A and B are shown apart, each in its own frame.
Chain A
Amino acid sequence: MSEGAVREIVVLLPTHLRTLARTGRTVTLRVHEPVTRCALLDALEAAYPMLGGTIRDRKTGKRRDFIRFFACEQDLSLEPDDARLPEAVVSGSEPFMVVGAMAGG
């Protein structure tokens, strides 16, 4: 990891957030190392301000209850905000997925 280097991260958004942000299925964001979830969501909300508050609480930064974060076939939802994302995400070979939790029923 090179401190301060810029990475291009692919983020996959759920349908409702794509519509709200008027994007396609994925967006590509430039994020400085270290690439953490917090840094990635900061970049996402800076690029798409209308997504503020829809994934995490604006004030506390806490993930909304029915939002999950998946990558590399793992659920990263409970990982610390400041943990570096998996190398495959950081290198751009795997997307970081923002997912609405299953409704059930």
Chain B
Amino acid sequence: MSTVRVLVGTRKGAFILTSDAARQHWHVDGPHFAGWEIYHLKGSAVDPNRIYASQSTGWFGQIVQRSDDGGKTWEPVGNTFEYAGEVGTHLWYDGTQHPWGFKRIWRLEPSLTERDTVYAGAEDAALFRSTDAGKTWQELPGLRAAKGSLWQPGAGGMCLHTIVLDPVHPGRLYVAISAGGAFRSDDHGETWRPINKGLISPYELPDADADVGHCVHSIALHPRHPDTLFMQKHWDVMRSDDGGGRWHEISGDLPTDFGFPIAVHAHEPETVYVIPIKSDTEHYPPEGKLRVYRSRSGGNTWEALTNGLPQENCYVNVLRTALSVDTLPSCGIYFGTTGGQVYGSADSGDHWQAIVRDLPAVVSVEAQVLP
């Protein structure tokens, strides 16, 4: 019988939640790396027991940990992230140019095919790759050549938080940066181009449809339809059917189109999930009701999923990496909140339960299915 493992990164450590395929009873293991901020954990598709964790604090900086036994034991691997060549500059808050400086790793994305290859998304925004399972890291500087001098940090810093690997087109990958926008490479990350046509940001950018600078919060795709991308932007839920060549809005009847994460059902490429948040200044659900919204039509028409979720006095946030689906026949979906709850549904979102309620603020959630 399959096992489900949910990897949870929080402000004060990592937790590993496990269950059988029924997903009704969970074992909570942790905290791992107690006291450290864990921006992201992710397991390898090639070897699910190989898990990477991004561990950091303002005091001691960045550590990357790797487990080869499903999170039972961990070893620190390389934490040297040096920008390639001339460091260069990007836009600063005051409009001046500011040199790139490494702060932390927001995202770790193991290769879909190469056991020892893993990508890392950094703040200040850059993409790094390791081909030796995290021992050493090399920047892919072609990304910063895609108008990097025009990227500008948002209030949360200038971070590369989303890495999406295309499982069908060899060498194609996408990244998203706050606030640089979305970018695509078709040559394994060597060269990049902005893919922001159709994004409109009238309240964030002086040029609302600028080529770069949009605050993209997350991107998701379905592996069987990799040319279709779904995006949660700062405001607006967007869709592209040509690999990011052009975007159009699918916010439709959502109560608000501000939010952070977005996910696609494991088996239904037109079923999409978002968690609307009231606004960019009020980071909590509208009306104090925690609702996941599901569209079964690829956007525009959305239904609120509330069964088992708090429908009064709920003022938590759900961060961009804190929503994930599993691949069991009845698709599981999971999300974590800044209030420390991790919610799970074993039936595509129709019914929810709190797997655990009182963790530190949840930063990331990733689900794995183990044979």
Using a CB–CB distance below 8 Å, which chain A residues touch chain B? Answer: 14-17, 19-20, 50, 52-55, 58-59, 64-67, 100-101
Interface residues of B in 35-94 (CB under 8 A from A): 35-36, 57-63, 76, 79-80, 82
Q: Is the interface on chain B under 10, 10 to 19, 20 to 34, or 35 or more residues?
A: 10 to 19
Please give, as numbers and ranges, the residues of chain B lying within 8 Å of A58 by CB-CB distance.
80
A64 and B36 alpha carbons, distance in the complex (Å): 16
Residues of B in contact with A (beta carbons under 8 Å apart): 33-36, 57-63, 76, 79-80, 82
Q: Is the CB of B76 within 8 A of A50?
A: yes
Whose C-beta in chain B lies nearest to the C-beta of A56? B61
A-side contacts of B33, CB under 8 Å = 19
The chain B residue with its CB closest to the CB of A101 is B59
Q: A16-B57, A59-B82, A66-B58 are in contact. Are A54 and B63 (CB under 8 A)?
A: yes
- For B77, the closest partner residue in chain A by CB is A50
* Interface contact B35-A54, CB-CB below 8 Å: no
Q: Are B59 and A66 in contact (CB under 8 A)?
A: yes
Main secondary structure of the interface of B (DSSP, over half): loop
Interface pairs (13), CB distance under 8 Å: A16-B35, A16-B57, A16-B59, A19-B33, A20-B60, A52-B79, A53-B61, A53-B79, A54-B60, A59-B82, A64-B61, A65-B58, A67-B59
For A65, the chain B residues whose CB sits under 8 A away are: 58
CB neighbours (8 Å) of A54 from chain B are: 60-61, 63
Known: A16-B35, A58-B80. A64 touches B62 (CB 8 A): no
9 additional contacts (CB under 8 A) given A14-B59, A64-B61: A16-B36, A16-B57, A19-B34, A50-B63, A52-B79, A54-B61, A64-B59, A66-B59, A100-B60
Which residues of chain A come closer than 8 Å to B63, judged between CB atoms?
20, 50, 54
B295 CB to nearest A CB, Å? 42
- Please measure, in the bound complex, the distance between the C-alpha atom of A24 and the C-alpha atom of B287, giving whole angstroms: 50
Quick one: closest A residue to B82, CB to CB? A59
List residues of chain A with CB within 8 A of the CB of B61. 53-54, 64
